[in-house]
Structure 1
Amino acid sequence: MTTITPRPRVLVIATARPTFVIEVAETRARAARALLESLGAEVHGPLGLVMSADDLEAARAHLDRDFDLIINVCASFSDASPALALYAGLEQPVLLWSFREPGHVGDRLWLNSLCGSNLYAHALVRAGGSVRLLYGDPDEVAIADALSRALSGDLPSAATLPSMVRERSEPESVRKALDSLRGKTLGLVSEAPPGFTPSEYDGDLLQSLFGLTVHKLSIDEMFSRIDDVSSEACGSEERAVRAARPSLATLDPEEVSRHAAVTVALRDWTATQALSALAIRCWPEFPSQRGVCPCSSMSRIADEATPTACERDVYGAVTMLLMEALGSGTTYLVDTVDLDAQNNSVRLWHCGSAATSLAADPEEATQFVHCNRKIGVAGNFPLRTGPVIMARLTENITDAGVDGLRLLIAAGESIPAPNRFQGNTAEVRLDVDASAFVNSLVVGGFPHHTVLAWQDIRPQLRAAADLMGIPVTEW
């Protein structure tokens, strides 16, 4: 009698956001599904991309059944709301599949798929779940091999790179730097964007660990401050910024004027409230309601020595503040968006709020329109080369739940390269295996934002973590 081996039952849900290149996302998602079917899987799940509330509700209905493998295809970036709605409380691991970036050098990020997996993973691991990462396109032999193993129960690695014991700075000098933070105030604009779990924070923890307080404005209060900027002050800033950043001459004059008003409002708020760092909800309200992106205004404030974090990332802003107190110099908040395993490098990127002092050539720190919104003003230039470190304070996720903070540290070299993606990009050749680093970043539930610096303050960071009782994960 012949025994028929049942085909592995696989749930595939492909998520995306309409602000990316959906045609490519759809094509790759279909190819992913076809590959699984060709490998013998019985594939279930919605045929189209999950992008709307109705799409999400229809996708959730599939989770009423049992599956041997659950795959979320991050066909493009999206916030983590779908991940939490679909998979929170799920006992089995979710395989997050990210695609490579297909766009031309200098073009926008077409998919930002890897960053999407990173954000999904943070949300799910923080909620007590487990994830695995698959990175590559459906036409790659290595991807087919990895999926074949996964269909037989051998999932991609959940291992993270081990932390190492490293040199620490003298505690006394570091203690003085930590003491300098006490009594400082962070300026927050509005709430975290929906589904951006790394942008949530515990104010009591900031006060107990760092002595930091927050001063918060609603988005409407911020807009009122912008409206109150006088024509004289706006004109003065516009003349100054046009002289400092000549490429503004190529942009819509009205958008440049709005940009100048935003800069004045942020600068005045920072001064009157004695703010030491800013964390700003930079979308969707700024572009959709005010017709301006605040990226270059945040860059302008960063050039004036006040760290600025986009997407209202409070712990990101605190990381910047800590690093600069320890001697890092100006820093920048970045996403990990691309992996080049052959070059052992990752590409670190964000929309265009980097200080112009961080440009590979500050004289060529071009200002342009925002890569997704297509309105001004955002920086569009590659970041400095040379040795760099990456760091990030984030929740310490334990089996019992969130217990304080932990600190991530990594290092490498920013190598000469064209601005791979519209905005600000650094290509960083890591000191450790880049593929293992990316896998660890995702499966370890670390945030999609890290902070990039061009001064090696790792000994100081380690010592600071020791003094505060914060565990360190260093690669």
Structure 2
Amino acid sequence: MKKQNIVIGVAPTKRSFLSMEEAKRQKEKFMAVIRGIHPDVVTLVDIDDICENGILFETEKITQVVEKFRRAKIDALFTPHCDFGEEQCAAGVAAAMKVPTLVWGARDERPNTDESRGRDTQCGMFACTKVMRRFGVQYSYIWNCETESEDFRNGFDSFIRVVSVIKAVKNLRIAKFGARPEPFMSVTANEGDLATKLGVTVVPISPNTVAARMDQLIGENSPRLQDYVADVKQRMDASGMKEEAVERAAAAKLAIQDLMEEKHCAAGAMECWSAVTVLGAPVCMALGELSDEGLPVSCETDVNGAVTMAMLQAVTLGKEACFLADLTIRHPQNDNAELLWHCGPFPYSLKDSSSVARLVQGQERFELKKGPITVCRFDDVDGKYYLFGGEGKGVDGPETNGTYVWFETNNWKMWEEKLMFGPYIHHVGGIYGNYKKVLREAARYLGMIFDDADEQGVYSL
């Protein structure tokens, strides 16, 4: 997997006439917490070399802080309030940087008394966010809570994931392998709008180019290919396939991976079953294996599906694989469950430990594990972009072929209505974990309409 690298500028603020010692104490407390949140992914850039105790309260220091953050190429800004704060300082930096901004301040322990002045942290944040709105700053907020609380830790964690999604979309290059299958009008996408509105670039690559690269790998009897074939056969029962068929399916994975990396593409959309005659093998296994490499590729040249998958992988900070599934049939006994299925392109890493993986005609066959799953779909209509999202869990259900998981929601009827009346198709993305609130917040920054699966939309009859 390819982990994200998130750079966050930290610009604490205090009111000029309030206690520096108390502000410093607050800063040390929250810095100790955030330094321990995804240190393998997050780089924190402080202002200790510019401001007294690394806390911004002098307007003349704004320019220096902004210059440092620009040199560091920060992806996001954190403006924690050590007390009431200086809104002109916090908002001034945020307005200049124009990156996702997080506002938070620790809950005050006590009110003011005649003997001592408190911090008035919440009061100052109300003032600061008003100024940010005037300056056109887009910001997120963690409610006024204690530094040591789970609310703060979870809020900061969620903000990191939001930034990861935004960064992934705005820098996304999608390798588009071939055209869509002729019958699938539903997967059409507006590549021009994706480029101008979101910064997503679609890079066309011919299936013939993939086939030629596969032939080269096989013709050279590449040790890399032979090692990979051995690895596949060790993990999956391929006894029903001829040796040369397994080799060609493995070559497809390596060829697609090489081409994506050469074109600097982080996701792909593959003309799969309709390109089998060109490729000489199904690419189902290749798609699942590529997702495990951190290179998610959608089936049936679903470009919007590729965007969906890129967002889902980013929400895990690049640490977990995602999958793209068909919405197929309702559970025979469970009215709130649906079969998320496809012919065999799911990541092996998500396989249930009790399920035996098989490779049949180049297609994987196994059941995914149980557990919490977030499902979403990025799509468009009439020039507007939507992000459908909701949470559920994998549950027991009848065995079937291909790769699959039975997915239970709180109210499938509401989900089904949303999906039928929204600008969506039969493809949805899935990721293990609960990330709806992160996707909702990322959609706000990206100018997408977030379509909450748990909020009633148009009713069916």
- TM above 0.5, one fold? yes
Identity value in percent: 24
Structure 2 Cα separation of the partners of residues 295 and 351 of structure 1: 7
Deviation per CA, 1:415-470: give whole Å up to 9, x if none: 1335x3211111111122x2343244224342110001111111111111111221
Structure 1 Cα separation of the partners of residues 429 and 366 of structure 2: 18
Counterpart AA for 1:390 = V
Residue 315 of structure 1: aligned partner: 304
Bigger mean CA offset, 229-238 vs 423-432: 229-238
Deviation per CA, 1:269-312: give whole Å up to 9, x if none: 122222211210002221x3444211111122122121121111
Residue 391 of structure 1: aligned partner: 376
Residue 471 of structure 1: aligned partner: 449
| Match for residue 430 of structure 2 among 413, 428, 452 | 452
Structure 2 Cα separation of the partners of residues 207 and 365 of structure 1: 42
Structure 2 Cα separation of the partners of residues 210 and 440 of structure 1: 24
Q: Are the counterparts in 2 of residues 349 and 421 from structure 1 also a CA contact under 8 Å?
A: no
Structure 2 Cα separation of the partners of residues 422 and 386 of structure 1: 20
Q: Are the counterparts in 2 of residues 201 and 315 from structure 1 also a CA contact under 8 Å?
A: yes
Structure 2 Cα separation of the partners of residues 284 and 176 of structure 1: 34
Counterpart AA for 1:333 = L
Q: CA RMSD in A?
A: 2.4
Residue 254 of structure 1: aligned partner: 244
1:179 lines up with 2:167 in the alignment: yes
Structure 2 Cα separation of the partners of residues 442 and 201 of structure 1: 18
Relative contact order, higher structure (CA 8 A, sep 6+): 1
| Match for residue 253 of structure 2 among 259, 263, 269 | 263
Counterpart AA for 1:450 = V
1:68-79 → structure 2 map (5 Å cutoff): none
Q: Are the counterparts in 2 of residues 299 and 353 from structure 1 also a CA contact under 8 Å?
A: yes
4+ long deviations beyond 6 Å: 167-171
Structure 2 Cα separation of the partners of residues 365 and 213 of structure 1: 38
Is the alpha carbon distance of 1:299 and 1:172 closer, same or farther for their aligned partners in structure 2, counting shifts above 3 Å?
A: closer
Residue 184 of structure 2: aligned partner: 196
SS across alignment from 2:433: coil
Residue 357 of structure 1: aligned partner: 349
SS across alignment from 1:247: coil
Structure 1 Cα separation of the partners of residues 250 and 290 of structure 2: 11
TM-score (normalised: structure 1): 0.57
1:345 lines up with 2:337 in the alignment: yes
Is the alpha carbon distance of 1:349 and 1:181 closer, same or farther for their aligned partners in structure 2, counting shifts above 3 Å?
A: same
Residue 194 of structure 2: aligned partner: 206
SS across alignment from 1:460: helix
Q: Are the counterparts in 2 of residues 203 and 214 from structure 1 also a CA contact under 8 Å?
A: yes
| Residue 237 (structure 1) shift | 2.5
Residue 462 of structure 1: aligned partner: 440
1:213-228 → structure 2 map (5 Å cutoff): 213-228=201-216
| Match for residue 400 of structure 2 among 396, 401, 421 | 421
Is the alpha carbon distance of 1:353 and 1:180 closer, same or farther for their aligned partners in structure 2, counting shifts above 3 Å?
A: closer
| Match for residue 229 of structure 2 among 218, 234, 238 | 238
Structure 2 Cα separation of the partners of residues 429 and 195 of structure 1: 30
Residue 77 of structure 1: aligned partner: none
Is the alpha carbon distance of 1:319 and 1:169 closer, same or farther for their aligned partners in structure 2, counting shifts above 3 Å?
A: farther
| Residue 387 (structure 1) shift | 1.4
Unaligned runs of 5+ in 1: 1-166, 370-375
Structure 2 Cα separation of the partners of residues 293 and 253 of structure 1: 15
Deviation per CA, 1:178-221: give whole Å up to 9, x if none: 13443332111011111323322122322234322122112222
1:32-181 → structure 2 map (5 Å cutoff): 173=160, 174-175=162-163, 177-181=165-169
Structure 2 Cα separation of the partners of residues 277 and 268 of structure 1: 13
SS across alignment from 2:189: coil
Deviation per CA, 1:129-154: give whole Å up to 9, x if none: xxxxxxxxxxxxxxxxxxxxxxxxxx
Structure 2 Cα separation of the partners of residues 365 and 215 of structure 1: 36
| Match for residue 327 of structure 2 among 327, 336, 344 | 336
Q: Are the counterparts in 1 of residues 312 and 430 from structure 2 also a CA contact under 8 Å?
A: no
Deviation per CA, 1:342-390: give whole Å up to 9, x if none: 51211110111101011112x7451322xxxxxx211111111111121
Unaligned runs of 5+ in 2: 1-142, 144-153, 454-461
Q: Could you say which structure has the larger radius of gyration?
A: 2
Structure 1 Cα separation of the partners of residues 251 and 265 of structure 2: 19
Structure 1 Cα separation of the partners of residues 293 and 358 of structure 2: 17
| Match for residue 437 of structure 1 among 407, 415, 424 | 415
Structure 2 Cα separation of the partners of residues 181 and 437 of structure 1: 25
Counterpart AA for 1:320 = M
